Amino acid sequence: MAQKDRPWLFRTYAGHSTASASNALYRSNLAKGQTGLSVAFDLPTQTGYDSDHVLAGGEVGKVGVPISHLGDMRTLFADIPLDQMNTSMTINATAAWLLALYVTVAEEQGADIAALKGTVQNDIIKEYLSRGTYVFPPAPSLKLIGDIAEYCYTSVPKWNPMNVCSYHLQEAGATPEQELAFALATATAVLDEVRPRVSEEDFPGLVARISFFVNAGIRFVTEMCKMRAFVDLWDEICAERYGVEDPKLRRFRYGVQVNSLGLTEQQPENNVYRILMEMLAVTLSKKARARAVQLPAWNEALGLPRPWDQQWSLRMQQIMAYETDLLEYDDLFDGNPAVDRKVEALKTGAREELARIDEMGGAVAAIDYMKSRLVESNADRLVRIERGDTTVVGVNAFTGGEKSPLVDEQGGIMTVDPAVEQEQIDRLQAWRDDRDDLAVRRALDDLRSAAREGRNIMPPSIACAKAGVTTGEWGTAIRAEFGEYRAPTGVSKAVSNAATGLDDLREAVGDVAARLGRPLTFLVGKPGLDGHSNGAEQIACRARDAGMDVIYDGIRLTPEQIVTAAREGRAHVIGLSILSGSHLPLVRDMLARLAAENLTVPVVVGGIIPEEDAAQLRKDGVARVYTPKDFELNRIMFDLVDLVDPDRTVAAE
């Protein structure tokens, strides 16, 4: 029998509610055969706020686990020996802080810090482009990435200090060529930052610690070719740009979560097949096989998956690795002319994009350009689905069928108890009451001095962790020195010609504007900490193309700010986009503020919203609720017109 290759790491992206609940989930998943951890943090933790901050309202424990201080991190990894674990932490703006907490807990467990294995994502550039959990401006953010890389290389040499994340680029609409180019441009920006920090002889070893986190979509042949292109291009960059001579140090090391963008609310059981096909793209080719795989659950377009749903995805990996003969063979695609042609075409397209970005001064300087390209590409993708050029089973084709028995009376998802937020706040206050305030002040003073003086941020961050500093206090201290940043929205004022079938819609918008005596004004708002802006951007673009005046100021706004913008902009309708599960408290806050100011503006809401919650929102006064199944943007635009002028048909006759 042929000798099998060692399988990739089996991971599940997980974390919710509380540190103790997430710890129980981790230990359960490890007992089921998971071989690595992948930690999801909630949005306040990702953006450097404590659980009791005004912006954290409704967000605590929703999309991940809240970690406000060292005590939470201890609880999260209780009875999990970190020196035996390979842990991936999806954290970016606050990566230095969460790594400091992790290292401190490992020390308390008696672990040899130098032996720790794992990854912090630590990719701020893609946050500006797609995910939205950035905090600081680009230049100091790049400096923080360099600090972590320098610290890890000297103190935690087996830890990957950065995971260049192209996953969210594809979720934002990136073509394969854009995903390749934008990710590689990010990697070179980071390596250019850290190169002066280490000796020339040590630099190749630091290059080898840079890893990647990619996406694999449903066009699995193209995706497999993309991964082979990644391997070739990274080898080329490491050799030619950075002079790395050892081929082992030029290896493209990556983990993957397959595409969540393509998971459908309609006929959600079909998502199981999509996930399997997408996994093939990153496991079939030995030359470009992933080092770690985490799969979404079939119901993630509906809401938060349950432990059983995650177990089902884990079993898919295990069957592929242990029951099939995949790991017994050399690369199945070497020498295949069709594969070689596709790989070369992708590399050519990626090199052209990379050259364009280099001409602009690199990834940081090209953020506006890359963001606008992603918005355009995503618009093109949606138009292809609307026209039927791209078939999505159950969405724009084969829509008839039986109701899914997997979606039970609870909606087939897990919900987070609203009481969790107050319990977390109570624990946070107890932590503050029990600590040494003088030690906290001294640690924070040194942290601010380090940021101001340009010292490496990791040692004072670890000192802060040990002193009992909270996530919000760490974030406030760094904000005070580095400032905050608002990334470009990518939504231009120029009308696009990509969308089709707009003649009737533009006529309707024009008629309403004529009767109003001014343009129909549509405010698109993203309240709370949710940074997933792709849907909001596409709604804003389509409204603009339909002839509406659009107010869209980007992500992370308070309900108060949105109401102020609606009043000052004289908005005729407000559209809220919330994908983090915090729709009920945030929308209710909005409605109350509108009522207090006597603003009678119809409100529509879009997001991943269970039907039970949608019914409650409508009862609360929301005019329309849209979920991922509502992919026909023109129909949504007509709804907006009707809300502003419900008698338009009669008036037009």
Q: What amino acid positions are annotated as catalytic residues? A: 13, 167-168, 526, 530, 532
Query: Residue 317: CB partners within 8 Å, gap ≥ 6?
Result: 8, 10, 279, 293, 295
Q: Where are the strands (E) in 384-495, listed by range?
A: none
**Using an 8 Å Cβ cutoff, are 145 and 185 in contact?**
no
DSSP symbols for 290-333: -SEEE---TTTTTSBPPHHHHHHHHHHHHIIIIISSGGGSS-SS
Burial of 318 (0-12, 13-18, 19+ CB in 10 A): middle
Comparing CA positions, the residue from 160, 95, 148, 147 lying closest to residue 126 is 95
d(CA 181, CA 24): 39
d(CA 491, CA 388): 25
Coil, helix or strand at residue 14: strand
Q: Which helix (H) or strand (E) holds 272?
A: helix 271-281
d(CA 424, CA 75): 13
**Using an 8 Å Cβ cutoff, are 47 and 68 in contact?**
no
Comparing CA positions, the residue from 4, 5, 2, 7 lying closest to residue 316 is 7
DSSP symbols for 149-201: HHHHHHH-TTEESEEEE-HHHHHTT--HHHHHHHHHHHHHHHHHHHGGGS-TT
d(CA 267, CA 404): 7
Q: Using alpha carbons only, how large is the chain's radius of gyration in Å? A: 24
Give whole-number Cα distances, 276 to 14, 25, 29, 258, 371, in Å. 19, 23, 20, 9, 30
48: left (phi over 0), alpha (psi -120 to 50) or beta: left
Q: Can you read off the two tokens belonging to residue 112?
A: 């040899």
d(CA 57, CA 582): 8
Give whole-number Cα distances, 499 to 371, 478, 490, 539, 542, in Å. 19, 43, 17, 12, 8
Query: From edge to edge, which strands make up the β-sheet containing 117-120?
Result: 13-14, 37-40, 86-90, 117-120, 159-160
Coil, helix or strand at residue 605: strand
Comparing CA positions, the residue from 537, 637, 632, 521 lying closest to residue 579 is 537
Query: Residue 267: CB partners within 8 Å, gap ≥ 6?
Result: 393, 394, 401, 404
DSSP annotation of 602: -
**Using an 8 Å Cβ cutoff, are 173 and 125 in contact?**
no
HSE of 414, CA atoms in CB hemisphere, 13 A: 19
d(CA 211, CA 165): 9
d(CA 335, CA 445): 60
Comparing CA positions, the residue from 146, 162, 158, 240 lying closest to residue 195 is 146
